[in-house]
Amino acid sequence: MTTGLIGAVNNQEVREMGTTNAAAPKYKGKRNRLDRPELLAPAGNLEKLKFAVHYGADAVYIGGQKYGLRSNADNFSFEEMKEGVEFASRYGAKVFVATNIYAHNEDIEGLESYLRSLEEAGIAAIIAADPVIIETAQRVAPKLEVHLSTQQSTMNWQAVKFWKDEGLPRVVLARETSFKEIAEIKSHVDIEIEAFIHGAMCSSYSGRCVLSNHFTDRDSNRGGCCQSCRWKYDLFVDDEPVYEEGQEQFTMGSKDLCMIEYLPELIEVGVDSFKIEGRMKSIHYVATVVNVYRQAINAYFEDPENFRVKQEWIDEMNKAANRPLNTGFFLDTPGAEDHIYGPEEKAAPYDFAAIVLDYDDRTGFATLQQRNHFKPGLEVEFVGPGGTFFRQTITELTDVDGQPLDAARHPMQHVRVRTLKPVKPMDMMRKKIRK
């Protein structure tokens, strides 16, 4: 059994369960256009896009100023989209845009112009749920691929075939789809399948929620979700409170998804695109999660027969975990143990501290951009793409002019730190939180 926040049983134990949907049936068909699964990462802003791609994403999905379900993310202007596409193309990566709202009448005005602008910006695909957005994109922006959003709650092969017949090359399955169901879909329909393999799980059916509408007048299906399932509630039985004063209150939040231990099953069942949730998450989260899955995917294809999940990957994942982790609906239907009802198990205590901007190999000093307070004497970790990792104590800290500092306490401050090993631009430095 795995320790830490990831509590899933290992692959062998799953194969020995003998239940109808525990083990992942293998898909023997053609993998469409992709010779290996695409690693698809979230990007809430341009900086996150660059880190996701730099740390190994094959594609990123972003939101524009309209028609997306993350109105609280920074989101992208058309100029930022163009810059993101240009950066991604240097790595051979693509950029997708979420246009996945369910549109009301007043949302339709300007849709054609918006979609044409996405096409002109070099966006490779949109992720859409509303048929009018899908049809309009196919008509006015034919260079844009249209991927069916998970908001459509697609879970069976006949529905997938319907969307293929409508001209869509890819379907993002509902989060509630199991391994067994994916195998059946792939055996009936020759289409790209995208599935969420990491990140937050919605307590409602594939995001179809109206709690936010009722509680705050913010429409979840038009980008305004207030995450009311994560709020804390009092519970009453016959008008008597269940919790005493001071006790942890009830939430409806589910644990987060993590499928790193089932990477071979995901590949063998025929998932074409591994999607990571988290456009609202930090740079540290996005880069860390992408980095781990990139290493794991590469390791699998280098030697599939001898592939093993490394403990260091799980340790890394736990350092970026926001909540306890589980395997969602892939193996079975989640139960009470897969939700956060009482005091929440805290994620690994690490904070993102700085980004490496430059490194001077003559002096051994790295120039950093501060993202969180740190000072001499603090033990930190440096992390980079492909498994770059080392731990050290900060011994020397100066400003950019070489003057000693007792702490890096100002956000975005540029400082210099002597490192034990060479580092590269866009490597990250993190620190352990003191309890």
- Quote the pTM value: 0.87
Residue 126 CB neighbours (<10 A): 27
| Alpha carbon distance 16, 19 (integer Å) | 9
Domains by residue range for the chain, with CATH: 11-207+253-338 (3.20.20.70), 350-432 (2.40.30.10)
Q: Which residues pair with 258 in a beta bridge?
A: 198
* Mean of the per-residue pLDDT values of the chain: 86
pLDDT at 11 over 50: no
**Relative orientation angle of helices 283-302 and 311-319, to the nearest 10 degrees:** 160
For the segment 221-238, the average pLDDT, to the nearest whole number, is 73
Q: For residue range 265-312, what is the model confidence (pLDDT) as tens digits?
A: 999 999 999 999 988 889 999 999 999 999 999 999 999 999 999 999
For the segment 136-142, the average pLDDT, to the nearest whole number, is 98
Q: Which residues pair with 352 in a beta bridge?
A: 430
Continuous segment of H or E residues that includes residue 356: strand 350-360
For the segment 78-82, the average pLDDT, to the nearest whole number, is 97
